[in-house]
């Protein structure tokens, strides 16, 4: 490691510890020397100047908090002495210029994808089975049991072998203590693929949820919009839809949302309504036949070359830490800028984690109406949160705080780095679809799974997901690339991490080098040449957002 501390922006009055610092030791940054007054763990910050109560604390060049107690030069910044604060913002003149990256190494490159009738290209080829209401979840489970294993999509968990060994030990008369001390090889617990009947279909995915009835009519409309986004998604060949019949989320509502997204929809969508068909056997038998026929059609598709402009990249973070904003997120930001320059689309979401950087994003919007829509969505969301006793300032989780993200503004300023520096071409409200290339802002909660679910529903055919603490989050139909902010995490949880940016913290790689390396990996994943951990483990997280307050 070349440096032990880092000042992210010239205007900052805090410095990040890249490794643990002990009280009394001296560290140097350029021509400045700092004496550490108390232990500062890696990922946390210390003050570069004396701060009085009410003084502003700046990081990433923006306001991230105000001192609640005197903080001396070299003193630890913590929740005990810093409170969230974010700068005001207003609509101004849009900034059109941006530092366009050199894409000579990627010009003319292609990936191997599944071409759809609407001109979009999938990075995978799935069939989805969707309930319009939670009452149909059991029928989805029946279909899953009937389809998955026999079609070769089941995954044999060798943990079952361990269970059998434990049963054998018990039957042999072993005591509880002896069983607890038994040497059972947990590393044999790998997932093995069965032989697929349809080799060109990546799987049959079941989008189980708890919505569709109760709640508000707006909840039902939003759910139908999200489900329609999954049906028209380029990674999907077709869909089987199960409806009870009496729920709020009616079949007509789903068809309306499908027409908004693709008026000339050509992929097969088979709808079955239980209250019309009568018995379970009639429903399941009909759904099975149609689904099987649909899979036969889907299997005729093969991967073909497609330009990188057909990639729509979802940008996500979860289990973030104090390194997220200086390693993984800037890497993703540079990859985003490369892809935008090549004509692709990217989606930046998690609006509670854009608090404090609104001015920059407003200024980057391509026109005033786009900036105004972003401003309105942000302020409305925050006011709704405050109305129920919360607010964006309550976004950081205990894990975030423990690892250096002690205010929402610090977290947000780092999270926004995923969006790079390109202009904002569109602002979308959940669950609208991406229709323009470039950087799209999508209103979602900060919750990892709700936001990832939304990004894919809006069109992301690959998701890049940064994490400093580790999370297994995946998605049923889009590969989710898990990116570690630090090498310690990458080594500790290698079974869920796909890509490591700890090399930046260690001084072995620049952000630009890491970003180019990530784009190469994205191309490999989009082509089906590399399988990410979340896909390998069958991590099919799917949580629709009910438009209540979720941070």
Given a cut of 60, whether residue 400 has pLDDT beyond it is yes
Residues 518 and 444 in one domain: yes
CATH code (residue 282): 3.40.50
Helix (H) or strand (E) holding 266: none
Residues 342 and 435 in one domain: yes
Reported residue count of the chain is: 551
| Dist CA 16 CA 326 (whole Å) | 9
Residues 243 and 187 in one domain: no
> Which whole number is the average pLDDT over 54-58?
95
Q: Kindly provide the b/e burial profile for residues 239-250, where b requires at least 16 CB atoms within 10 angstroms of the residue's own CB.
A: bbbbbbeebbbb
> Which whole number is the average pLDDT over 233-246?
98
CATH code (residue 71): 2.30.130.110
Q: What is the pLDDT of residue 221?
A: 96
Residues 242 and 340 in one domain: no
| Dist CA 108 CA 113 (whole Å) | 15
Residues 351 and 449 in one domain: yes
pTM of the model: 0.93
User: How many other C-beta atoms are found inside a 10 Å radius of the C-beta of residue 167?
Assistant: 10
- Which DSSP string do the residues of 53-74 spell out, in sequence order? TT-EEEETTEEEEEESS-B-TT
Q: Specify whether the CB–CB gap between 288 and 294 falls below 8 A.
A: no
H helix count then E strand count, the chain: 17, 25
Domain carrying residue 358:
312-530
User: How many other C-beta atoms are found inside a 10 Å radius of the C-beta of residue 367?
Assistant: 12
Residues 176 and 288 in one domain: no
Q: Specify whether the CB–CB gap between 203 and 550 falls below 8 A.
A: no
Q: Which residue has the higher pLDDT, 253 or 381?
A: 253
Residues 379 and 411 in one domain: yes
Q: What is the pLDDT of residue 117?
A: 96
| Dist CA 6 CA 268 (whole Å) | 54
| Dist CA 144 CA 175 (whole Å) | 38
| Dist CA 175 CA 164 (whole Å) | 16
In a domain, 115, yes or no: no
> Which whole number is the average pLDDT over 502-506?
96
**CA distances to 183, 184, 189, 501 from 179, in Å:** 9, 9, 18, 41
- The set of residues, in sequence order, having a beta carbon less than 8 Å from that of 35 and lying 6+ positions away, is 24, 25, 26, 74
Tokens of 492: 């500790």
Count of the separate structural domains present in the chain: 4
In a domain, 121, yes or no: no
In a domain, 271, yes or no: yes
In a domain, 50, yes or no: yes
Q: What is the pLDDT of residue 232?
A: 98
| pLDDT tens digits, 129-184 | 999 999 999 999 999 999 998 999 987 666 777 888 888 889 999 999 888 888 87
The domain boundary, picked from 170, 193, 216, lies at: 193
The domain boundary, picked from 251, 279, 300, lies at: 300
Q: Specify whether the CB–CB gap between 393 and 311 falls below 8 A.
A: no
Q: What is the mean pLDDT of the chain?
A: 93
Q: Kindly provide the b/e burial profile for residues 373-391, where b requires at least 16 CB atoms within 10 angstroms of the residue's own CB.
A: bbbebbeebbeebeeeebb
In a domain, 522, yes or no: yes
Say if strands 62-67 and 56-59 run parallel, antiparallel, or are unpaired. Answer: antiparallel
Q: Specify whether the CB–CB gap between 282 and 313 falls below 8 A.
A: no
Residues 340 and 424 in one domain: yes
Residues 524 and 390 in one domain: yes
- The set of residues, in sequence order, having a beta carbon less than 8 Å from that of 300 and lying 6+ positions away, is 200
In a domain, 166, yes or no: yes
The domain boundary, picked from 300, 322, 355, lies at: 300
In a domain, 18, yes or no: yes
Residues 228 and 377 in one domain: no
Residues 294 and 344 in one domain: no
Residues 208 and 249 in one domain: yes
How confident is residue 546, by pLDDT bands cut at 50, 70 and 90? Answer: confident
| Dist CA 188 CA 159 (whole Å) | 8
> Which whole number is the average pLDDT over 318-340?
96
Nearest to residue 549, comparing CAs of 472, 470, 450, 473?
Answer: 450
Crossing angle of helices 328-341 and 511-526, rounded to 10°: 60
Given a cut of 60, whether residue 449 has pLDDT beyond it is yes
In a domain, 380, yes or no: yes
């Amino acid at each position: 490691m070349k440096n032990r501390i880092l000042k992210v922006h010239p205007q900052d009055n805090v410095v990040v510890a890249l490794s643990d610092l002990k009280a009394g030791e001296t560290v140097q940054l350029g021509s400045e020397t700092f004496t550490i007054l108390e232990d500062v763990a890696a990922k946390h910050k210390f003050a570069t100047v004396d701060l009085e109560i009410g003084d502003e604390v700046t990081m990433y060049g923006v306001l991230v908090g105000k001192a609640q107690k005197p903080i001396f030069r070299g003193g630890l910044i913590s929740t005990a002495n810093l409170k969230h604060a974010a700068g005001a913002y207003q609509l101004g003149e849009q900034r059109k210029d941006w530092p366009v990256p050199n894409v000579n190494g990627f010009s003319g490159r292609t990936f191997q994808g599944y071409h759809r009738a609407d001109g979009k290209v999938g990075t995978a080829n799935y069939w989805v089975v969707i309930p319009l209401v939670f009452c149909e979840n059991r029928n989805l489970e029946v279909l899953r049991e009937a389809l998955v294993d026999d079609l070769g999509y089941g995954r044999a968990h060798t943990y079952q072998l361990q269970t059998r060994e434990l049963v054998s030990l018990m039957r042999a008369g072993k005591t509880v203590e002896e069983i607890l001390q038994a040497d059972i090889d947990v590393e044999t617990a790998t997932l093995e693929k069965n032989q697929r009947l349809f080799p060109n279909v990546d799987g049959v995915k079941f989008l189980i949820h708890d919505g569709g009835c109760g709640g508000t009519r707006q909840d039902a409309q939003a759910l139908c919009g999200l489900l329609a986004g999954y049906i028209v998604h380029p990674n999907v060949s077709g869909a089987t839809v199960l409806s009870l019949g009496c729920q709020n989320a009616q079949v007509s509502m789903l068809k309306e949302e499908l027409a908004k997204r693709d008026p000339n929809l050509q992929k097969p969508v088979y709808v079955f309504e239980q209250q019309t068909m009568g018995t379970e056997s009639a429903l399941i038998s009909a759904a099975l036949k149609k689904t099987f026929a649909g899979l036969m059609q889907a299997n005729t598709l093969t991967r073909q070359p497609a330009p990188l402009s057909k990639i729509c990249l979802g940008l996500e973070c979860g289990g973030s830490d104090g390194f997220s904003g200086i390693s993984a997120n800037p890497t993703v930001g540079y990859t985003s800028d490369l892809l935008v320059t090549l004509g692709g689309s990217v989606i930046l979401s998690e609006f509670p984690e854009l608090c404090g950087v609104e001015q920059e994003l407003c200024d980057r919007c391509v026109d005033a109406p786009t900036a105004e829509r972003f401003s309105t969505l942000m302020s409305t969301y925050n006011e709704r949160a405050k109305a129920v006793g919360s607010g964006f300032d309550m976004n950081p989780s205990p894990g975030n705080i423990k690892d250096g993200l002690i205010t929402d503004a610090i977290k947000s300023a780092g999270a926004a780095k995923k969006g790079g520096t390109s202009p904002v071409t569109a602002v979308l409200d959940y669950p609208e679809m991406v229709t323009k290339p470039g950087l799209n802002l999508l209103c979602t909660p900060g919750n990892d799974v709700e936001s990832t679910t939304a990004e894919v529903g809006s069109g992301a055919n690959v998701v890049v997901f940064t994490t400093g603490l580790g999370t297994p989050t995946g998605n049923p139909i889009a590969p989710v690339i898990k990116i570690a902010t630090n090498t310690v995490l990458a080594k500790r949880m290698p079974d869920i991490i796909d890509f490591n940016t700890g090399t930046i913290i260690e001084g072995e790689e620049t952000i630009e080098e890491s970003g180019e390396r990530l784009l190469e990996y994205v191309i490999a994943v989009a082509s089906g040449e590399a399988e990410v951990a979340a896909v390998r483990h069958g991590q099919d997280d799917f949580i629709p957002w009910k438009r209540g307050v979720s941070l």
